[in-house]
Amino acid sequence: MKTLRFIGVALFTVLLSVSFSACGGDDGDNGGGGDNPPTSVKFLKRCVEESNGKSYTYVFNYDNQGRLTRVSQSGNYSYTLTLTYSDNQIIQQGTHEQMIYTLENGLVVHVKDNDGEHSYTYENGYLATVKGKNTLEKYYWSNGNVQKIEYYDIASNTLKKTETCEYTNYTYSQDFLRLTSDWPGLARHCGKTMKNLPSKVTVTKNGQSSSVTYNWTMKDGYPIRCSVGQESVSYEWE
């Protein structure tokens, strides 16, 4: 599955879970945020990514409990994921790989895929660490948002990379950006959601820093577009 890569610094492919129940913003409003909440709860049904001259369309299907059951991708590359649920497990099946999410008290504590295994820990309901075979990620929260993520090499106990995050005034809860990643099974099962939509992420590695700025367009309290430079994703809700 092609992840929405330009949103996909690890903050967005691993962490974010949002679906708008109290978002700000009017039609066409970007960046800062507003006060207008959505009038009803909607599900993300479709998104279209435009990146490097290529287009990718994602369609999302849910069961009667509102849980994601299928992601279909079409465009320059086609792919399908299915998700099945039990009391303490989510199985995500793709064409060439399978991911198994293990839950405790409704939270993902372990993920196994073709590349290895990851463990998840939480503090006060928020995601605190993600540990793989060679890497450890530490998440630092303040005012309901992740302010910083640190990435360590386990063998050397060396800090390899840091991400710092800034936010708009748009507020939200539940899930949507995680649905567009390679780990949609994390949606609704990875701790408390962040309070605001991101506006900027700065990555520092080897003493060098670079930033990505996210520009949001809102309608009726829901995001309908996110752009970064010449790349963009549009969202459709039902």
- pTM for this one? 0.81
Q: Is 189 helix (H, G, I), strand (E, B) or coil?
A: coil
Instruction: Find out whether 224 and 234 touch, Cβ atoms under 8 Å.
Output: yes
Separation of alpha carbons 131 and 117, rounded Å: 8
* The one-letter amino acid at 215: N
Give the C-alpha distances (Å, rounded to integers) separating 209 from 58, 139, 151, 165: 32, 19, 15, 13
* Dihedral sign, Cα of residue 100, residue 106, residue 108, residue 109: negative
pLDDT tens for the 238 residues of the chain, in order: 344 433 333 334 333 333 333 333 334 444 445 445 455 678 888 888 888 888 888 888 889 988 888 888 887 677 888 989 998 999 989 888 898 999 999 899 999 988 899 999 999 999 999 999 999 999 999 998 889 999 999 999 999 999 998 988 887 644 555 554 555 666 678 888 778 888 888 999 999 999 888 888 888 878 888 888 888 888 888 8
SS3 content of the chain, % helix, strand, coil (to 5): 5, 55, 35
Q: Comparing C-alpha atoms, which of 215, 238, 233, 208 is closest to residue 58? A: 233
